[in-house]
């Protein structure tokens, strides 16, 4: 049985780039980030982190929240600005 290709939309692609950029800005390796998220109760291997950043794996909301917490940031920081603005518009 062949695997179905995971399609990642532009929001997911930008989020993946934002995760990588924040991780690098914090001076955290993929292995270190994997250890940090595991300490927070969401085990992700460094390979999973790499696949998220390389846009080969979706980053679900639980991954996003835990990665953000591990990097000391709000999950909103990792979402594209247009997504955050749209969400704020829905609330207001």
pLDDT (mean) for 70-78: 97
Token pair for 57 = 């794996």
Summary mean pLDDT of the chain = 89
3-state secondary structure of 36: helix
Domain regions of the chain by residue span: 10-91
Do 64 and 15 form a contact (C-beta atoms < 8 A)? yes
Distance separating alpha carbons of residues 51 and 91, to the nearest angstrom = 33
Q: Distance of CA 41 to CAs 16, 38, 67, 90, Å?
A: 21, 5, 11, 31
- The pLDDT tens digits of the residues spanning 27-64 come to 999 999 999 999 999 999 999 999 999 999 999 999 99
pLDDT band of 81, cuts 50, 70, 90: confident
Do 77 and 68 form a contact (C-beta atoms < 8 A)? yes
Do 72 and 66 form a contact (C-beta atoms < 8 A)? no
Alpha carbon 80 to chain centroid, angstroms? 11
Q: Hey, which CATH number is domain 10-91, 3.20.20.110, 1.10.260.40, 3.90.1170.40, 1.10.3470.10?
A: 1.10.260.40
């Amino acid at each position: 049985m062949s695997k179905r290709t995971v399609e990642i939309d532009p929001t997911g692609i930008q989020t993946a780039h934002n995760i990588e950029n924040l991780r690098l800005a914090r001076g955290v390796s993929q292995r270190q980030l994997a250890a940090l998220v595991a300490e927070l109760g969401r085990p992700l291997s460094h390979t999973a982190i790499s696949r998220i950043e390389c846009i080969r794996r979706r980053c679900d909301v639980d991954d996003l929240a835990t990665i953000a917490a591990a990097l000391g940031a709000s999950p909103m920081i990792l979402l594209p600005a247009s997504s955050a603005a749209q969400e704020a518009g829905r609330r207001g």
